[in-house]
Amino acid sequence: MRGTVQRKSLQRGWRVDRQTIELFQELARTGSIRQTADTVGMSPTAVTRQLDKLERTFGSPLVERTPRGVRLTAAGELLAARSRDIGRELALTRQMIDDLKGLRRGHVSIHVNGAAISSILGPALSEFAALHPGISVEVTVTSAQGALDAAATGRTDLIVTMFAPPDTRIVIRHRRPVMHEPIMAPDHPLAASQVVTLPQIAGARLALPDRGFGVRRAFDQRMRAQGLDGFEAAFTTSSMELQKELARRGSAVLILPRMAVAREIADGSLVARPFEPRARIETLLELGHSIAHHQSLAARRLLDFLETFLQRPAA
């Protein structure tokens, strides 16, 4: 009888509801009991009680109090990581069940690299949303390597990249060459050139992303090859909107694919001029997904749509 009571007590002690785990994940993210309380709509005292309950359940301290908030212990780090994995698996399982039911809803995560990619995807996602209003799409802008790693570890469904290294963990569904060219206002002095040379670019004021972006590294490489390695951009920003505004005002020249500024070229506020052959910057725009992880019905729909969309003639 005593053994039965102990087993029942132990089973009750290990019951952890999803809300408590989500609260702990938020605490792990913020490192602050007060900020977590504000986010989840509870009092700091209630958050502390839930944390104490969770620590009793697992029989180990999960956080350490510091003057700046809380810091996860080794046990807390383990719980945070494993509970995130469980959350992703539950979301995927729900999506698969929805697929079995043939429901016209779902959620898709996409990781992309570079502000230019986000600009290119805008029209595609707008068109997809009109066709599939029940499917929500989350877009994360990161580095090419970050996108590859997110897909390979199951943290995202699809990736759209430029300047990405080959990766055996990824299936490339669509690939197309993309040329990066000087983009400027119509009245900019370089707009009168048939082709733009590197010395001309060296004498212009440029707005470029930082050296974490593939296009910037490719551009710097070409400048160094021509002995122009002392060049510095007038503006360094990854903000596509800021780059466009600087170019429209004649304050800077950009290095972008034409399709990233197709609307501005169409309305005449920006123009594109080709580089001379030795200065050309060409890469591949690639649409891919993990070779190992299941694709939900919603993800497959978006993947098929993007493949068709990207096959359309470039502007």
Bridge partners of 142? 113
* Straight-line distance from the first to the last Cα atom of the chain, in angstroms, rounded to the nearest whole number: 78
Cα distances from 207 to residues 144, 210, 241, 251, 265, in angstroms, run 21, 10, 11, 9, 18
Bridge partners of 283? 178
Bin 249: left if φ > 0, else alpha if -120 < ψ < 50, else beta. alpha
What does the DSSP assignment read for 252-268? -BEEEEGGGGHHHHHTT
The pTM of the full predicted model, rounded to 2 decimals, is: 0.65
Res 1: pLDDT: 43
Instruction: Report residue 118 CA to chain centroid gap.
Output: 9
159-169 pLDDT, tens digit per residue, is 999 999 999 99
Give the CATH class of 106-315.
Answer: alpha beta
**Where in the chain are all domains bearing CATH 1.10.10.10?**
2-83
Topology adopted by domain 2-83: Arc Repressor Mutant, subunit A (1.10.10)
Res 79: pLDDT: 86
**Where in the chain are all domains bearing CATH 3.40.190.290?**
106-315
d(C-alpha 280, C-alpha 92), whole Å: 43
Bridge partners of 175? 286
**Which residue stretches of the chain have pLDDT < 70?**
1-17, 87-92, 94-96, 98-105, 115-116, 118, 314-315
